[in-house]
Amino acid sequence: MPLSIPEQELMEPGHTACHGCGATLSMRYVLKALGKNTVVSVPAACWAVIPGAMPNRTLDVPMVYTPFAATGASISGLREALDIRGKEDYNVVGFAGDGGTADIGLQALSGAMERGHNVFYIMYDNEAYMNTGVQRSGSTPYGAETTTTPVRKEKNFKKQQKKIVADLMIAQGVPYVATATVAYPEDMIRKVNNAKKIKGPKFIQILSPCPVGWYFSSEKTIEVSRLAVRSGVFPLFEYVNGVMKVTKQPSPVEIKEYLSSQRRFSHMSDRDIEEIKAYADARMHRLLEMEKNSASASAVQN
């Protein structure tokens, strides 16, 4: 049965995000699924400024600002405090960018997951430190131009492959790990709903295209997000208690089409594109193998 998107809006208009901001849509959909009994913790990032200055607010749920490195610690404390006060039914959500997750916040995230707190950690992945001017992060993909990997004569684009935090979370044994993106809101909301059923740590990495930092026109956010999935660059999956499911098969869209939708990749040679394709193909192969192994393991148990 097709899932209907909840009508309730817990994010109001009038915020200060840029036109076409994928991170803003990500928050909107996540809150639609979580509902009113939710507390959000946000570190230094675009989302720390999107609500605007006091007395403005954009969210109709409580929001806590936390130091850049501390989202994992913050949600651990919020969870324990709410539980002590008998508010076990409240959702506690860390909502952090890729810099705050893949880099400076990684140890706090890993600690929170390891301690097994009943929390959500949403990584909105716009693939660079956008709020401070598009610096590269560990989650920036190979080949991307950023302000710290400027493409001048020496072609100084990012030379390392993307660090994929969702895969790290799987390796750590987190019970619920998923990826999502804004072009597929039903898929995202279904995943948040499924995550709610797990009592323990939950991690969702949401690809959130950024027109300013990826250099594309702001009405193309959904198109770019969809191309990321269809080209196989950003696979959508759900991993629940050791069982992998790839939730959207990539359609035959060339990676070149995805890359050419953003100016941050405009300098790339065919050889560079091959590097990205090889990395994406190998990862997709790994995920499908995990899915196959999950299916055969459950067949053995049945």
Footprint of ligand TPP on this chain (CB under 6 A)?
23, 44-47, 68, 97-100, 126, 129-132, 137
Neighbours of 55 (CB within 10 A): 5
To ligand TPP, the closest distance from the beta carbon of 44 in angstroms equals 3
Secondary structure (3-state) at 188: helix
Of residues 108 and 130, the one with the C-beta less far from ligand TPP = 130
Q: Toward ligand TPP, which CB reaches closer, 182 or 273?
A: 182
Minimum CB distance to ligand TPP smaller for 66 or for 118: 66
Look up residue 46 and give its two tokens: 């675009």
CA distances from 300 to 175, 273, 294 (A): 21, 41, 10
Q: From the CB of 244, what's the least distance to ligand TPP, in Å? A: 27
Q: Is omega for the bond preceding 2 within 30 degrees of 0, making it cis?
A: no
Q: What residue type is 35 in one-letter code? A: G
- What's the min distance (Å) between Cβ of 45 and ligand TPP? 3
Helix, strand, coil shares of the chain, percent, nearest 5, are 40, 15, 40
Could you give the residue ranges of the DSSP H alpha helices within 50-135?
Answer: 71-84, 106-115
- Closer CB to ligand TPP, 94 or 99, in the complex: 99
| Residues 40, 296: Cα–Cα separation, whole Å | 38
CB of 276 to ligand TPP, least distance (A): 20
Nearest approach in angstroms of CB 25 to ligand TPP is: 13
